[in-house]
Amino acid sequence: MSSIVLFGPPGAGKGTQAARITESTGLPQVSTGDMLRAAVKNGTKTGIAAKGYMDAGKLVPDSIIIDLIRDRVKEPDAVNGLMFDGFPRTINQAEALATITEVSHVIAIEVPDSKIVERICGRYSCASCGAVFHDVFNPTTVQGVCDECGSTDMKRRADDNEATVNQRLNAYHQQTSPLADWYDSKGIFHRIDGDRAIDEITGDILKSLN
Ligand code: AP5
Protein backbone atom coordinates (compact mmCIF):
# COMPACT_ATOMS: atom_id res chain seq x y z
CA MET A 1 0.00 0.00 0.00
CA SER A 2 1.56 3.30 -1.13
CA SER A 3 -0.26 6.60 -0.99
CA ILE A 4 -0.01 10.15 -2.36
CA VAL A 5 -0.55 13.41 -0.48
CA LEU A 6 -1.83 16.59 -2.15
CA PHE A 7 -0.53 19.47 -0.06
CA GLY A 8 -1.12 23.22 -0.23
CA PRO A 9 -2.98 26.22 1.17
CA PRO A 10 -6.78 26.54 1.09
CA GLY A 11 -7.94 27.10 -2.47
CA ALA A 12 -4.66 25.94 -4.03
CA GLY A 13 -6.56 23.52 -6.25
CA LYS A 14 -6.03 20.26 -4.33
CA GLY A 15 -9.61 19.05 -4.85
CA THR A 16 -9.66 20.17 -8.49
CA GLN A 17 -6.44 18.28 -9.26
CA ALA A 18 -7.39 15.22 -7.18
CA ALA A 19 -10.50 14.72 -9.30
CA ARG A 20 -8.34 14.86 -12.47
CA ILE A 21 -5.52 12.56 -11.42
CA THR A 22 -7.49 9.90 -9.62
CA GLU A 23 -8.15 8.05 -12.90
CA SER A 24 -4.44 7.97 -13.82
CA THR A 25 -3.27 6.85 -10.39
CA GLY A 26 -6.17 4.50 -9.64
CA LEU A 27 -6.03 5.77 -6.05
CA PRO A 28 -9.31 6.87 -4.43
CA GLN A 29 -9.42 10.52 -3.31
CA VAL A 30 -9.74 11.03 0.44
CA SER A 31 -10.58 14.62 1.43
CA THR A 32 -10.74 15.14 5.19
CA GLY A 33 -12.63 18.38 4.50
CA ASP A 34 -15.33 16.46 2.58
CA MET A 35 -15.48 13.78 5.29
CA LEU A 36 -15.92 16.43 7.98
CA ARG A 37 -18.60 18.31 6.01
CA ALA A 38 -20.52 15.03 5.56
CA ALA A 39 -20.23 14.39 9.31
CA VAL A 40 -21.54 17.89 10.08
CA LYS A 41 -24.45 17.43 7.65
CA ASN A 42 -25.34 14.05 9.19
CA GLY A 43 -25.08 15.40 12.73
CA THR A 44 -22.66 12.68 13.85
CA LYS A 45 -20.57 12.92 17.03
CA THR A 46 -17.55 13.80 14.86
CA GLY A 47 -19.52 16.45 12.99
CA ILE A 48 -20.78 18.05 16.19
CA ALA A 49 -17.22 18.15 17.59
CA ALA A 50 -15.71 19.54 14.36
CA LYS A 51 -18.25 22.19 13.34
CA GLY A 52 -17.08 25.03 15.58
CA TYR A 53 -13.48 24.67 14.43
CA MET A 54 -14.47 24.58 10.76
CA ASP A 55 -16.77 27.61 11.03
CA ALA A 56 -13.92 29.54 12.68
CA GLY A 57 -11.37 28.47 10.03
CA LYS A 58 -9.33 26.57 12.61
CA LEU A 59 -7.88 23.09 12.31
CA VAL A 60 -9.98 20.31 13.81
CA PRO A 61 -8.05 18.50 16.60
CA ASP A 62 -5.60 15.83 15.44
CA SER A 63 -7.27 13.04 17.42
CA ILE A 64 -10.56 13.48 15.50
CA ILE A 65 -8.81 13.56 12.12
CA ILE A 66 -6.56 10.59 12.81
CA ASP A 67 -9.55 8.48 13.93
CA LEU A 68 -11.34 9.36 10.66
CA ILE A 69 -8.32 8.24 8.63
CA ARG A 70 -7.81 5.04 10.63
CA ASP A 71 -11.43 4.09 9.82
CA ARG A 72 -11.12 5.10 6.16
CA VAL A 73 -8.06 2.93 5.47
CA LYS A 74 -10.00 -0.14 6.64
CA GLU A 75 -12.31 0.13 3.61
CA PRO A 76 -11.65 -2.36 0.78
CA ASP A 77 -10.77 0.29 -1.84
CA ALA A 78 -7.80 1.44 0.26
CA VAL A 79 -5.86 -1.76 -0.28
CA ASN A 80 -3.51 -0.25 -2.94
CA GLY A 81 -3.20 3.15 -1.25
CA LEU A 82 -5.11 6.42 -1.22
CA MET A 83 -4.75 9.95 -2.55
CA PHE A 84 -5.04 12.27 0.45
CA ASP A 85 -6.38 15.78 -0.20
CA GLY A 86 -5.97 18.18 2.73
CA PHE A 87 -4.43 15.58 5.05
CA PRO A 88 -2.02 15.58 6.84
CA ARG A 89 -2.04 19.18 8.08
CA THR A 90 0.17 18.90 11.17
CA ILE A 91 3.35 17.01 12.02
CA ASN A 92 1.29 14.85 14.43
CA GLN A 93 -1.02 13.86 11.59
CA ALA A 94 1.94 13.10 9.31
CA GLU A 95 3.56 10.93 11.97
CA ALA A 96 0.30 9.03 12.43
CA LEU A 97 -0.05 8.59 8.66
CA ALA A 98 3.47 7.12 8.49
CA THR A 99 2.30 4.32 10.79
CA ILE A 100 -0.74 3.65 8.57
CA THR A 101 0.58 3.71 4.98
CA GLU A 102 3.77 4.39 3.02
CA VAL A 103 3.66 7.80 1.30
CA SER A 104 5.47 7.77 -2.06
CA HIS A 105 4.87 11.38 -3.18
CA VAL A 106 3.82 14.64 -1.53
CA ILE A 107 2.65 17.05 -4.24
CA ALA A 108 2.72 20.66 -3.02
CA ILE A 109 0.53 22.98 -5.11
CA GLU A 110 1.95 26.45 -4.51
CA VAL A 111 -0.24 29.55 -4.89
CA PRO A 112 0.50 33.00 -3.41
CA ASP A 113 -1.79 34.19 -0.61
CA SER A 114 -2.82 37.17 -2.75
CA LYS A 115 -4.69 34.81 -5.13
CA ILE A 116 -6.39 32.67 -2.51
CA VAL A 117 -9.34 34.84 -1.40
CA GLU A 118 -10.46 35.41 -5.00
CA ARG A 119 -10.28 31.70 -5.72
CA ILE A 120 -12.21 30.63 -2.66
CA CYS A 121 -14.88 33.32 -2.72
CA GLY A 122 -15.73 32.42 -6.35
CA ARG A 123 -15.94 28.68 -5.77
CA TYR A 124 -19.12 26.63 -6.16
CA SER A 125 -19.66 22.92 -6.52
CA CYS A 126 -22.20 20.39 -7.65
CA ALA A 127 -24.30 19.18 -4.70
CA SER A 128 -24.87 15.91 -6.52
CA CYS A 129 -21.40 14.74 -7.66
CA GLY A 130 -19.07 17.22 -5.89
CA ALA A 131 -17.43 18.62 -9.07
CA VAL A 132 -15.78 21.97 -8.28
CA PHE A 133 -16.15 25.15 -10.39
CA HIS A 134 -15.34 28.86 -10.18
CA ASP A 135 -17.40 31.90 -11.18
CA VAL A 136 -14.57 33.29 -13.34
CA PHE A 137 -11.67 30.81 -13.62
CA ASN A 138 -13.53 27.54 -14.16
CA PRO A 139 -17.26 28.08 -14.84
CA THR A 140 -19.66 25.36 -15.94
CA THR A 141 -20.12 25.24 -19.72
CA VAL A 142 -23.86 25.90 -19.36
CA GLN A 143 -24.61 28.26 -16.49
CA GLY A 144 -25.98 26.39 -13.49
CA VAL A 145 -25.59 22.90 -15.03
CA CYS A 146 -22.87 20.55 -13.80
CA ASP A 147 -20.47 19.55 -16.61
CA GLU A 148 -19.89 16.16 -14.98
CA CYS A 149 -23.38 14.88 -14.11
CA GLY A 150 -25.91 17.40 -15.48
CA SER A 151 -27.34 18.29 -12.07
CA THR A 152 -28.61 21.84 -11.59
CA ASP A 153 -28.14 21.72 -7.81
CA MET A 154 -25.10 23.91 -7.10
CA LYS A 155 -23.88 24.93 -3.64
CA ARG A 156 -21.32 27.17 -1.91
CA ARG A 157 -19.43 26.25 1.25
CA ALA A 158 -20.26 27.95 4.57
CA ASP A 159 -16.56 28.64 5.22
CA ASP A 160 -15.91 30.22 1.80
CA ASN A 161 -16.04 33.85 2.94
CA GLU A 162 -13.19 36.34 3.22
CA ALA A 163 -12.98 36.41 7.05
CA THR A 164 -12.83 32.63 7.41
CA VAL A 165 -10.43 32.26 4.49
CA ASN A 166 -7.96 34.56 6.25
CA GLN A 167 -8.21 32.39 9.38
CA ARG A 168 -7.66 29.26 7.27
CA LEU A 169 -4.58 30.86 5.71
CA ASN A 170 -3.24 31.67 9.19
CA ALA A 171 -3.76 28.06 10.25
CA TYR A 172 -1.98 26.91 7.09
CA HIS A 173 1.09 29.09 7.67
CA GLN A 174 1.36 28.36 11.39
CA GLN A 175 0.48 24.67 11.61
CA THR A 176 0.65 23.10 8.14
CA SER A 177 3.49 24.74 6.21
CA PRO A 178 6.17 23.33 8.61
CA LEU A 179 5.27 19.94 7.12
CA ALA A 180 6.95 20.99 3.86
CA ASP A 181 10.41 20.73 5.43
CA TRP A 182 9.42 17.52 7.22
CA TYR A 183 8.50 15.82 3.92
CA ASP A 184 11.32 17.52 1.97
CA SER A 185 13.85 15.89 4.29
CA LYS A 186 12.41 12.52 3.27
CA GLY A 187 13.03 13.23 -0.45
CA ILE A 188 9.39 12.78 -1.51
CA PHE A 189 8.30 16.45 -1.71
CA HIS A 190 7.48 17.85 -5.18
CA ARG A 191 6.73 21.57 -5.63
CA ILE A 192 4.28 22.50 -8.41
CA ASP A 193 3.51 26.08 -9.47
CA GLY A 194 -0.27 26.22 -8.90
CA ASP A 195 -0.70 29.74 -10.27
CA ARG A 196 -1.23 28.58 -13.87
CA ALA A 197 -3.89 27.01 -16.05
CA ILE A 198 -5.53 23.95 -14.49
CA ASP A 199 -4.46 21.65 -17.39
CA GLU A 200 -0.79 22.66 -17.13
CA ILE A 201 -0.78 21.89 -13.42
CA THR A 202 -2.36 18.47 -14.00
CA GLY A 203 0.33 17.68 -16.59
CA ASP A 204 3.14 18.59 -14.19
CA ILE A 205 1.62 16.57 -11.34
CA LEU A 206 1.35 13.50 -13.55
CA LYS A 207 5.00 13.96 -14.65
CA SER A 208 6.18 14.18 -11.05
CA LEU A 209 4.31 10.96 -10.21
CA ASN A 210 6.15 9.00 -12.93
P1 AP5 B 1 -10.79 21.59 3.32
O2 AP5 B 1 -12.11 21.24 2.78
O3 AP5 B 1 -9.67 20.62 3.19
O4 AP5 B 1 -10.39 23.01 2.74
P5 AP5 B 1 -8.97 23.64 2.34
O6 AP5 B 1 -7.73 22.94 2.61
O7 AP5 B 1 -9.10 24.97 2.96
O8 AP5 B 1 -8.94 23.55 0.85
P9 AP5 B 1 -10.06 23.87 -0.13
O10 AP5 B 1 -11.00 22.72 -0.27
O11 AP5 B 1 -10.68 25.20 0.26
O12 AP5 B 1 -9.26 24.16 -1.46
P13 AP5 B 1 -8.62 23.23 -2.59
O14 AP5 B 1 -7.14 23.32 -2.48
O15 AP5 B 1 -9.22 21.85 -2.61
O16 AP5 B 1 -9.06 24.06 -3.86
P17 AP5 B 1 -10.15 23.76 -5.00
O18 AP5 B 1 -9.66 22.69 -5.90
O19 AP5 B 1 -11.51 23.61 -4.42
O20 AP5 B 1 -10.90 21.93 4.88
C21 AP5 B 1 -11.97 22.70 5.40
C22 AP5 B 1 -11.86 22.74 6.91
O23 AP5 B 1 -11.97 21.41 7.45
C24 AP5 B 1 -10.53 23.28 7.46
O25 AP5 B 1 -10.52 24.70 7.57
C26 AP5 B 1 -10.47 22.59 8.84
O27 AP5 B 1 -11.32 23.23 9.76
C28 AP5 B 1 -11.05 21.21 8.55
N29 AP5 B 1 -10.05 20.22 8.14
C30 AP5 B 1 -9.99 19.53 6.95
N31 AP5 B 1 -8.97 18.67 6.95
C32 AP5 B 1 -8.33 18.81 8.14
C33 AP5 B 1 -7.18 18.21 8.72
N34 AP5 B 1 -6.46 17.28 8.04
N35 AP5 B 1 -6.81 18.61 9.95
C36 AP5 B 1 -7.53 19.51 10.66
N37 AP5 B 1 -8.63 20.13 10.16
C38 AP5 B 1 -9.03 19.78 8.91
O39 AP5 B 1 -10.05 25.16 -5.80
C40 AP5 B 1 -10.51 26.37 -5.22
C41 AP5 B 1 -11.20 27.22 -6.31
O42 AP5 B 1 -10.21 27.65 -7.26
C43 AP5 B 1 -12.27 26.46 -7.12
O44 AP5 B 1 -13.32 27.33 -7.42
C45 AP5 B 1 -11.53 26.02 -8.41
O46 AP5 B 1 -12.41 25.92 -9.52
C47 AP5 B 1 -10.52 27.17 -8.58
N48 AP5 B 1 -9.25 26.74 -9.18
C49 AP5 B 1 -8.62 25.54 -9.02
N50 AP5 B 1 -7.44 25.53 -9.70
C51 AP5 B 1 -7.33 26.75 -10.29
C52 AP5 B 1 -6.34 27.36 -11.14
N53 AP5 B 1 -5.21 26.70 -11.50
N54 AP5 B 1 -6.55 28.62 -11.56
C55 AP5 B 1 -7.69 29.31 -11.18
N56 AP5 B 1 -8.66 28.78 -10.40
C57 AP5 B 1 -8.49 27.53 -9.95
List pLDDT tens digits, range 76-112. Answer: 999 999 999 999 999 999 999 999 999 999 999 999 9
Q: Is 105 in the pocket of ligand 1 (CB under 6 A)?
A: no
Strand partners, 134: 123, 138
Distance (Å) from CA 166 to ligand 1 centroid: 13
Tell me, yes or no, if 168 is annotated catalytic: yes
pLDDT of residue 177: 96
Tell me, yes or no, if 157 is annotated catalytic: yes
Residue spans of the domains in the chain: they are 2-112+162-209, 123-159
> pTM higher than 0.75 for the full model?
yes
pLDDT tens digit string along 146-197?
A: 999 999 999 999 899 999 999 999 999 999 999 999 999 999 999 999 999 9
State which of 123, 159, 161, 196 you would mutate to test the pocket of ligand 1, scoring each by most atoms of that ligand within 8 A of its C-beta.
123
Q: Is 87 in the pocket of ligand 1 (CB under 6 A)?
A: yes
Tell me, yes or no, if 89 is annotated catalytic: yes
H or E segment at 16? helix 14-25
> How do strand 189-193 and strand 102-110 relate by DSSP bridges?
parallel
- What region does 29 belong to: left with phi over 0, alpha with psi -120 to 50, or beta? beta
Handedness of CA 67, 75, 206, 137 (dihedral sign): negative
Contacts within 8 Å (CB) and 24+ apart, 66-69: 66/92, 66/93, 66/96, 68/32, 68/35, 68/36, 69/30, 69/32, 69/96, 69/97, 69/100
Distance (Å) from CA 207 to ligand 1 centroid: 23
Q: Is 92 in the pocket of ligand 1 (CB under 6 A)?
A: no
Q: Is 86 in the pocket of ligand 1 (CB under 6 A)?
A: yes
CATH architecture type of domain 2-112+162-209 = 3-Layer(aba) Sandwich (3.40)
Q: Are 97 and 88 in contact (CB under 8 A)?
A: yes
